[in-house]
Structure 1
Amino acid sequence: MNQIALPEFHMPFRSAGCNPGIAITQEAVWKWAASHDLVLSPAARKKMVRTRPELWISLIFPTASQRHLDLFCQWLFWAFLVDDEFDDGPAGRDPRVCEAAIDRLVAVLDGGEPRGAMERALAELRSRTYRDRPEHWIRQFRRDTVSWLWTYYAEAVDRATGHVPSRAEYVKHRRDSVAMQPFLDLHEITAGIDLPESARSLPAYIALRHSVTDHSGLCNDICSFEKEARLGYGHNAVALIRHERGCTLQEAVEEAGRELARVARRVASAEDELLEEIGAAGIEGPTRIALERCVRDYRGLVRGDFDYHARAERYTRPDLVEVDERDSLSEHFAA
C-alpha cells in the first residue's frame, strides 16, 4: 500500500490530561486477564500491548478513582479481545458461528451460566459493574452493550452476502459498533451522577451522545483504514467513501478528515442545544447537575479519544501488523 498522508485536523477541545493511575491500571489489567485464564498467544499479547487499553481509559477518564479506572480498563481489555476475534478471526466470517458466540455472551450478560474464559470474565465484570446501580442504568448499559455485540453479526452477514453498506447505513451502524455508548454509561459511575429516563430522552442529549460516538468511530476509521485494508476488513468509513465516490484513497482520507471536523462542530452545537433544553424543560437539582457534568466531561472524552489514536501503536504503526496477528482467540469462547 502506498504511503497515505493523514489529514490535518484542529481539535477544538482542550485536553484534560491523563489519569495519574495509568501505571497501576496497566499492571492490574494484565493480572486480571491472567486470573481469568485469558491467556494470549505471543502475537495476540504483542497486539494488546500495542493497543494500550490503559492509555485510552486514562485519557477519557482523567479524574476517575483507581477502582473505577481499573474496572473500566478491564472492560476495555475484554472488548478488544471480542473485537479482534470477530474482526480478524473465524467467528466474524461465519454468521452461524458468530450468532452462537454472541447469543452466549448476551445470555451471560443477562445472568446466565458462563462456560468459556471470555464468558466467565464477562460474568465477573457484570457482577462488579451492576453492584449498587439503579435498574434504569442497568437497562441502558445492557441495551448499549448488546447493540454493540450484535453489530459483529451484521458485519458477518455483510461479508457472507458481499453487501456494501451505504454511508448513511454505516453511520448508524458505527454508532453501536464503535462501542463508545457503554463507556458513556460507565462515565456516570465515575462522575457520581444518575440520569433519569427523562434526561436521556432529551433530543439534544441524544444528539450529543450521537456526535460523541460518531467522532470516535470516524477517528478510529481514519487511523485504522490501513491496518483493516491489509486484513480485508471493509467496514470502514474511508473505504466506503472511496467505494461510493470512486476517488483515490488519499482523497477518501481527506474527505473523512473534513467530516471529522464537522462532527466536532456538532458536539459543540449539541452542547449549546442541551443547555437550552435544560432551561426550557425547567430541569433543576441533581438532574441538571448531572446533565451539565456530561456537557463538561464529554468534551474531554472526545479529546482523550482523539489523543489516544495519535499515541497508541495499534494505530500509529499499522506497518507492524503481522500475519500471525490473525491468531484466533476462539478457545476463549469455547466451553
Structure 2
Amino acid sequence: MTPLAEPLLAWFDRHGRHDLPWQHPRSAYRVWLSEIMLQQTRVETVIDYFQRFVTQLPTLADLARADEDEVLALWSGLGYYRRARFLHRAALQCMREHDGELPRDFDALAALPGIGRSTAGAILAQAHGLRFPILDGNVKRVLTRLHGIHGHPGQRVVEKQLWTLAEQHTPHERLADYTQAIMDLGATLCTRSRPRCDDCPLQSRCVAHAEDLTDALPTPKPSRAIPTRHTLMLLLRDHERRVLLQRRGPEGVWSGLWSLPEAENETDALQKAKRLAEVDDAQTLTAFIHVFSHYRLEIRPLLFEAATAAKRIADNDDLRWCDPTQIQTLGLPAPVRKLLNDTWESDA
C-alpha cells in the first residue's frame, strides 16, 4: 500500500460514496458510461441521466443497435454532445472489432472514440481491478495541492509531472476503491473553492495547506474575454401547433442535433421562413443567453405562424414537423427544448 493510499482508503471506507448507481453492478459498460457522463458534469446531475440511459440501453450491444437520435435524446440536457456521439461510435467499433465488449487491453481501450488515458485507466481499475492511474480534474486538483505544484495543470510539463505522481500513488490492491476514493476526495473535500481541509485525511502532508496556498492552487488557466455571438431562431408553427425542426450539420456547436432554423438578421429570417412555409410577419419572443465554455450566445426567437406549412415542406432527413410528444424522442439542445416547451405551455 502506498503512503497516500492507506489513509485515503481508510477515509473512503468511512466517508466515501458507495451507493452510486454505476457501482451496482460495476460492469465495464456501466463504468464507461458513467465516466463519459461525468466529464465536466457533477455527480448529482449525472445520476438521473445515467439511470434513464441504462434503463433504455442496458448493454453495449443495445447502445450499438440504437440510432444516433435515440442516443442524443437520452443525452439531451447533459451538454457536450460530442461525448454522446463518441460513445455511440465506440459501441459500434466494439461490436465490429472486440466481440461486442470493451477491450481489457489498455491501448485498445484508449484508442476508442472518446476514451483517453485517464478514462481508460478508470474503466480498467474500477471494472477489472487492474492497476492503472487516473488523472481527471478532481485528481489533478488533489495532487496539485498535495505536492504544491505551480503552473496550470493543462500545460504539458505540469500534466506530465502529475501523471508521474498519479502512478506513484496508485496502490497494487483495492484498485476500484482507490480510484473512487481519490475522485471522491476531490469532489467532496478538496473542492475548487472552500475546500474542507480540516476533514481531509491527507491534510498533514499537504503542501498547499501548510503554505496557505489552497486558494492559489491549482494555478488557474490564463483568462481571456468570452465573446458574445448573436443568432435568430425561427420558430415556424403550423395550425396543428407543430414546429419545424432542422438537423444541424456535422460541424460546429450542437452538430447532428435537431434544432430550429437560424438566421443572421430579420430580413434573412423572413426570407428563409417564406422559403419553408407560407407565413406572415414574425412575433419576436423574449431573447435569452446560453453560455458555452468559450463564448456566450444571445438567442432571439422569432415566431412565425404557418397555416399551410406542412404542404410546402415534407418531413425528410434534415427537416421535420414535430409536436410536443415527438420532440421527446429526438436529441435537441437543452435551450431549444426549453424554448419549445415554454412556447407550447404558454399556448395551453
TM-score by length of 2: 0.22
- Would you tell me which structure has more helix in proportion to its own residues? 1
Structure showing greater relative contact order (alpha-carbon pairs closer than 8 Å, 6 or more residues apart)? 1
> Which structure has the larger Rg?
2
